[in-house]
Each structure stands twice: as structure tokens, then as C-alpha cells.
Amino acid sequence: MSSAIIEHPDGLPQPQRNWAILTIALGLVMAVVDGSIANVALPTIARDLNASPAFSIWIVNGYQLAITISLLPLASLGEIIGYRRVYLAGLLLFTLASLFCALSHTLPLLTIARILQGFGAAGILSVNSALVRFTYPHSQLGRGIGVNALVVAISAAVGPTIASFVLAIGTWPYLFAINVPLGIVTLALGWRFLPHTRPAVHAFDWQSAAMSAIAFGFGISAIDSAGHGEALYVCALEFAVAAVASHLLYRRQQHLPSPLLPVDLLRIPIFALSIGTSIASFCGQMLAFVAMPFYLENHFGYSAVQIGLLITPWPIAVAFAAPIAGWLVERYPAGLLGGIGLLLFALGLGTLAFMPAHAAPIDVVWRMALAGAGFGLFQTPNNRTMIAAPRASVPAAPAACWGPRVCSDRPSAPPW
């Protein structure tokens, strides 16, 4: 199992590398696209299942919640048992759950299927970057990360369009059914071409994993309860459980050599600021993506097909703005670019909220594009700052070299 590491420590050889890249990209496409197509189809699904918008939102929330509570534990598990195994297991679960979604005929069944699908997507997303590290040579790692970012942007861009096309010729279950053959093909490719990795020596931290799931799960549930007007004591109890679990998780991570959540990085001011603004911006984008289909249908009378096409300019603008921001950040301060991006993002959201009563399609399109361009202009400089902050804060140490071309600033481990 470890022969791939011994023979090819600096990435996979050709043509295996290209097949592995294709496998990683296909899994990423399915996980990202399935998050966006459900947003576009929400009004249609709610109407077909006789569900209110408030409760049908769990079709999206269940998927996102499952990803949120399992992303960190699965990433840690991948380090221990192998990233390839976690990826393939997640892909298998995602494919089976997609079939479950397509066959669901009630809102509770569809919600359960989406939660299972979210756990599968977490298995794909949690180890995606790690697999990229073992697939590309170290000298091309930046290129691999860039390709991954491009795949995410394109997947988000085509998601609404795919949803519009499918809904124009068929019913909403086909949105999930198309994942089944694609998942089977990706599983076959992954089994054959994904890299094997040497497992870590430390044991899986079940306590931290449980605390993480409780903290994120009850935190999101508390916010949802407050939004649905649940009793005050219910919301307070859920917030309290989330707060206690978060505190215990924080204290535990400070004393572990291989923490599930490296909270010590939050002591770096620029890193903490970048993380906070990134979370806020993604929350703003997801809230807009979930609310926009209902807003466009109820206030302006657009159909599901039209809604998908009208939302598409947002991710397209992100795909264009992100690489431009990557070029600009080499020449201008990241804080300046990120601030301009956030300002454009806020302007886009504001103009969407105050559209005229009889908005034409062009009125929606330019506002969507403005919000997407701002989001893309902010994310690339901000991500670069987050990656660079830990390295910049660590004093220089004697380098340890692993092979003729690969060296690390950390003498205790290779750069992988």
C-alpha cells in the first residue's frame, strides 16, 4: 500500500497523475454543484412536496450542516487511515445518497437523504487538498491548488445553469439522479489511480471529534431555532450546549500534539482577522444563494429555469475576478484589494435587496455580477494572507531536506 510513496515521493508519475487529477476534480464538481442546484430548485421542490419555504430550507441546511460537523473529523481521520480511503468512502456514500434523494417523495425523506449526501460530500472535500499535495510534484503544487480553485469556481458557475436545464426538460429528482452514473465512474477511477499515503502514527481523537460535531451542530440548530421563532428556552439551551462544547474543544486542542483544530493559529492577529472576514463573507453569499430563488419567484414571478440563469452571473463573476485578484495581489497590498472586494460585495447585495418593483432581467444580472466580482476580488487575497500568516509568524529554523529538490522549514516532518 505504501509502495507509491516509496517509489514516487514527489507526486505521481504520468499518466497516473492526470487520471488522479481527473478523479479529484470529478468528486469536487459533484459536491459543489449539488450545493448550488438545490438552491435553484428549492421553490419547485417545496411546491411539489407541499412544504413551506421555512421548512424546505432544510434541504439545503441539512446538506451544509452535515458537511460542517464532519469536515474536521474526517480530515483528521484521513491523515490516520489514508486520504484515499476517506475520499472513496465519501464518494460511495454521496452516490448512494444521491439515489436516495432522487427516490424521495416526502420532505423528511429528502432531508435525511440530503444529510447523508452532506456527510459523503464532507468525505470528498475534507481530503481534497491533501490528495492534491500527493498527486502533484512539489514544484507544481501551486498549479494544483490553482486548478482546484478553478474547478470550484466553474462548478459553482454551471450549477444554476445545469439546474435550469434539467428542470426545463424533466422533474427535480433528475437533479440528484445524474450523480449516480457520474459517481460510479469516479469511484472506478479513484480505486485505480488515487495515490496511497502513509498513515499517521497518532490515534483518532474521538473526544475532539464529538465536541466539534456538538459545537457546530447545536450552534447551527440554535440559529435555525431562533429564525423559526422557537421558544426562548429552546434557543438558549442549544446556544448553551454549543458554547460549552466549543469551550471544551478549545481547551483540549491547546494540549494536543496533533490537534483536530489548530486554535493556536488564532493567536496570529492577521490570521484571525482573515478567518473572521472569510466566514462572514461566505455566510453572506450562502444566505443570498438560499434566499434569492424565493425572492425572484415570489416578488418578480420568475420561473425556476429563469432563476437558474439569473443567478449564474454571480459565480461566473467569481471565476473571472479570482484569478485577476491573484495577479493583482502580487503587486498591491492584500488588505487594499480585500477591502475593495468586500465593498463591491456589499454594494451588490444592497442593490439586490432594493431592486425596483418591476425589475428586468438585466437589472438582476448586473447586480449578481457585481456581488460575485466583489466576492472573488476579496477571497483570493484573503486566502493568500491566511496561508502566509502562519509561516510569517514562525522564526526561521534550520531546514531539513527530503530528497534532492524538496526542503522544509520544519525539521521534524517532510513538507507533505
Q: How far is CA 6 from CA 1, 3, 9, 10, 143, in A?
A: 10, 5, 6, 10, 24
E strands in 147-264: none
Cα–Cα distance, 365 to 43 (Å, whole number): 20
Phi, psi of 408 (to 5 degrees): -130, 150
Max CA-CA distance within the chain? 66
Cβ(253)–Cβ(263) below 8 Å: yes
Arithmetic mean of pLDDT, 155-167: 77
What's the pLDDT at 122? Answer: 92
What's the pLDDT at 86? Answer: 93
Arithmetic mean of pLDDT, 320-344: 85
Report the 10 Å Cβ neighbour count for 368: 24
Q: How far is CA 89 from CA 32, 126, 179, 385, in A?
A: 17, 12, 15, 33
Pick from 41, 9, 27, 243: which is nearest to 137 by CA?
9
Cβ(17)–Cβ(80) below 8 Å: no
The SS3 call for residue 407 is strand
The long-range contacts involving 337-342, CB below 8 angstroms and separated by at least 24 positions, are 337/377, 337/378, 337/381, 338/277, 338/377, 338/378, 338/381, 338/382, 338/385, 340/374, 340/377, 341/373, 341/374, 341/375, 341/376, 341/377, 341/378, 341/379, 341/381, 342/277, 342/281, 342/374, 342/378
Cα–Cα distance, 33 to 40 (Å, whole number): 11
The SS3 call for residue 301 is coil
What's the pLDDT at 184? Answer: 95
What's the pLDDT at 345? Answer: 94
What's the pLDDT at 408? Answer: 38
Arithmetic mean of pLDDT, 55-65: 82
Q: How confident is the model at residue 92 (pLDDT cuts 50, 70, 90)?
A: very high
Strand partners, 407: 401
Cβ(219)–Cβ(45) below 8 Å: no
Q: What pTM was estimated for this model as a whole? A: 0.70
pLDDT above 80: residue 200? no
Arithmetic mean of pLDDT, 332-354: 91
